[in-house]
A and B are shown apart, each in its own frame.
Chain A
Amino acid sequence: DVKVTQSSRYLVKRTGEKVFLECVQDMDHENMFWYRQDPGLGLRLIYFSYDVKMKEKGDIPEGYSVSREKKERFSLILESASTNQTSMYLCASSLGTGSMNTEAFFGQGTRLTVV
């Protein structure tokens, strides 16, 4: 089974802190994604990566950056955390097969609270 693991279930950080959210997948997937989930807004794409060192902005990249130094790991970075970044963060991965798209597999989520 595909396993997507997020390093923390719950995090509490202070405003202005630099925050790292880590995600690891064990199925050699090319594509990895970071979403945030907020009530009434569903899942919104922050960034995604289709290969090592490659990244592309999603719909709401402001205030975030990402790093993909290894294929299995995709990190989300909050450069200077703010209270409006309090949210559930979900990492996902999918197999990159060119023209054939496949389902994304999700981690269990990280509930981040910025105080």
Chain B
Amino acid sequence: GESVGLHLPTLSVQEGDNSIINCAYSNSASDYFIWYKQESGKGPQFIIDIRSNMDKRQGQRVTVLLNKTVKHLSLQIAATQPGDSAVYFCAENMAPASGTYKYIFGTGTRLKVLA
């Protein structure tokens, strides 16, 4: 079946360095993508999103890149801080027959920030 996946299950980054988390998606009909951050014991929190008519979007210290040709999504975190340590999920948004947009999540990447 179609799914969203991640290349690296765990990423260790030195504090202050930039982090890049990658995600592959397989549904070419998906037109909306979201990155979530989940800290231990909490629910996922929205970080940034991007629609399929864009290839780049920037937020505060974060940038999402979308390459529709190879169905690849990435999250870049600038100047990684200890508070960025968490599990990061990408999600694609697709509409089933009912017309309701539902979200398909990858398995997640754990980001560890080293002091």
Are B43's CB and A31's CB within 8 A?
no
With an 8 Å Cβ cutoff, the count of chain A residues facing the other chain is 26
Given known pairs A103-B34, A103-B49, A107-B43, the reply for A42 and B96 (CB within 8 Å) is no
Closest to A35 in B: B105
How many residue pairs bridge A and B at CB < 8 Å?
60
**Nearest CB on B from A31, distance (A):** 6
- Name B105's contact: one of A42, A48, A103 (CB within 8 Å): A42
With an 8 Å Cβ cutoff, the count of chain B residues facing the other chain is 27
- Name B102's contact: one of A4, A33, A41, A108 (CB within 8 Å): A33
Bound complex: CA A40 to CA B9 (Å): 9
Bound complex: CA A14 to CA B100 (Å): 35
Are A50's CB and B98's CB within 8 A?
yes
A114 beta carbon closer than 8 Å to chain B:
no
A58 beta carbon closer than 8 Å to chain B:
yes
For A58, the chain B residues whose CB sits under 8 A away are 102
A105 beta carbon closer than 8 Å to chain B:
yes
Are B107's CB and A108's CB within 8 A?
no
- Name B106's contact: one of A42, A45, A92, A96 (CB within 8 Å): A42
- Name B107's contact: one of A4, A41, A96, A101 (CB within 8 Å): A41
Bound complex: CA A71 to CA B67 (Å): 37
Are A48's CB and B100's CB within 8 A?
yes
Contact with A along B33-70 (1 / 0, CB 8 A): 01010000111111001000000000000000000000
**Nearest CB on B from A111, distance (A):** 9
Beyond contacts A43-B89, A105-B46: 8 other A-B pairs, Cβ-Cβ < 8 A, are A31-B100, A44-B105, A45-B102, A48-B100, A90-B44, A92-B103, A94-B101, A104-B91
A contact residues vs B (CB 8 Å cutoff): 4, 31, 33, 35, 40-45, 48, 50, 56, 58, 90, 92, 94, 96, 101, 103-109
